[in-house]
Amino acid sequence: MKLRTAEQLSDRLSNDLAWRKKELSEVQSLVETKKFSSAKHNALIRSGVCLLYAHWEGFVKLAAISYLEYVRMQKLCYGELASNFLALAMKEKLKEAKETNKPSLYIPVCDFFLEELNQRCSLPKDAISTASNLSSEIFKEITHTLGIDFSPYSTKSVLIDTKLLKTRNEIAHGEYSIFDKEEYIELHREVIAMLDLFRNQIENAAIKEDYKRNLR
pLDDT in tens, 168-189: 999 888 887 777 889 999 999 9
pLDDT in tens, 138-155: 999 999 999 999 999 999
Per the model's pLDDT, the better-predicted residue between 216 and 200 turns out to be: 200
pLDDT averaged over every residue in the chain: 90
Q: Average pLDDT, stretch 2-10?
A: 95
Separation CA 107–CA 205 (nearest Å): 34
User: What pLDDT is stored for residue 131 in this prediction?
Assistant: 85
pLDDT in tens, 38-67: 888 888 899 999 999 999 999 999 999 999
Separation CA 176–CA 163 (nearest Å): 14
pLDDT in tens, 80-100: 999 999 988 887 667 766 666
Separation CA 83–CA 10 (nearest Å): 24
Domain ranges of the chain: 6-76+127-208
Per the model's pLDDT, the better-predicted residue between 64 and 104 turns out to be: 64
Q: Average pLDDT, stretch 6-14?
A: 97
User: What pLDDT is stored for residue 208 in this prediction?
Assistant: 96
Which residues, listed in sequence order, are joined to residue 81 by a DSSP beta bridge?
Answer: 212
pLDDT at residue 11 above 60? yes
What kind and span of H or E run contains 33?
Answer: none
pLDDT at residue 216 above 60? no
3-state secondary structure of 165: helix
Q: How many helices (H) and strands (E) does the chain have?
A: 8, 0
